[in-house]
Structure 1
Amino acid sequence: MSRVLDRFDLRILEVLKSQGDIGPVEMSAMVHLSASQCSRRMQQLRAGGYIARIAAVLDADKLGIGVNAYVLLTLRSHEPEWLDKFHRRIAAMDEVLECQALTGEADIILKVATRDLHSFNSFLTRELLTAPEVATARSSIILENLKSTTALPVRFAQ
């Protein structure tokens, strides 16, 4: 259900990407449309798939997350059954925040969050390196978070 987005739709998406829990009344003041128009447009944007989901951004420090890292994996095989097993294994790991397939030397990149270096080492050695689908792993600890966002640029929308 794709449709052409106008400037009001784009403004609504701009607001929603940083304030996902905003209601139509608050939205109307920000985009200069009536609350009923905002409500209708917000529903259409959800129904059209422009809004994949609404989620809370949790505070890592308050949750005891002290180590974030990227892990580059090389897989032993690219056979479909091996990949399916690997996908299921990664999906079950709470520590894995993101998992993407790559071109280049590594096959997979993971973004991982753990309590501390000890728990990261345990995760790496007991969960990832023992997985039969994984041939090698290289990790890099994030020292400082310079930018982290879930806000996609809406200027590319068509």
Structure 2
Amino acid sequence: MALDRIDRQILSLLQDDGRMTNVDLAERVGLTAPPCLRRVRALEEMGAIHGYHAELDAATLGFPITVFAMVSLKSQAEHDLAAFEHYVAAIPEVRECHMLNGEIDFILKIVATDLKGFQDILTTHLTPAPNVASVKTSLTIRTAKAVSGIPVSDP
């Protein structure tokens, strides 16, 4: 399905404010409510919209520590990669897991309540995990930019 200007406007607006009512959304894109809702449903069905989420503040909710862990595996066979992905999916503090091309196999974004909490995650979950060869970590000092979503522009 090709996205037109109105579809892109809808995506951009919903990405900025997923709680916007359909009536407000329709008004902002120049449609009436029924066709706007049909477009939103079509965008959901085609997979352009995966869901609607609240953006939470980690520090306010007791997770002021963010660490990036670079993980190298002993084997990069597909079943070993999938097993690692499945393993880290069960660790709640691992918020993101990306497979990389190059020397490092995965980069993980991990949140923790404090440094001891992160150390516990590292020593009880990551370093002893099956097939893990090494884990290198970097503690974030500050975040200069954290934008969720993707840039949505007119075609």
Tell me, yes or no, whether TM beats 0.5.
Answer: yes
Distance in 1 (CA, whole Å) between partners of 2:81 and 2:43 is 34
Task: Report what 1:80 is aligned to.
Answer: 78
- Counterpart check, 1:126 vs 2:124: yes
Residue identity opposite 1:86 in structure 2: F
Aligned length: 155
Task: Report what 2:68 is aligned to.
Answer: 70
TM value normalised by structure 1? 0.91
Task: Report what 1:56 is aligned to.
Answer: 54
- Counterpart check, 1:37 vs 2:23: no
Residue identity opposite 1:20 in structure 2: G
TM value normalised by structure 2? 0.93
Residue identity opposite 1:146 in structure 2: A
Query: Runs of 4+ in structure 1 displaced over 3 angstroms?
Result: none
Q: State how 1:1-158 maps to structure 2 within 5 Å.
A: 3-155=1-153
1:81 shift after superposition? 3.4
1:80 shift after superposition? 3.4
Distance in 2 (CA, whole Å) between partners of 1:14 and 1:81 is 37
RMSD: 1.5
Gaps of 5+ in 1: none
Residue identity opposite 1:128 in structure 2: L
Structure 2 counterpart SS, 1:37? helix
Gaps of 5+ in 2: none
Distance in 1 (CA, whole Å) between partners of 2:87 and 2:34 is 45
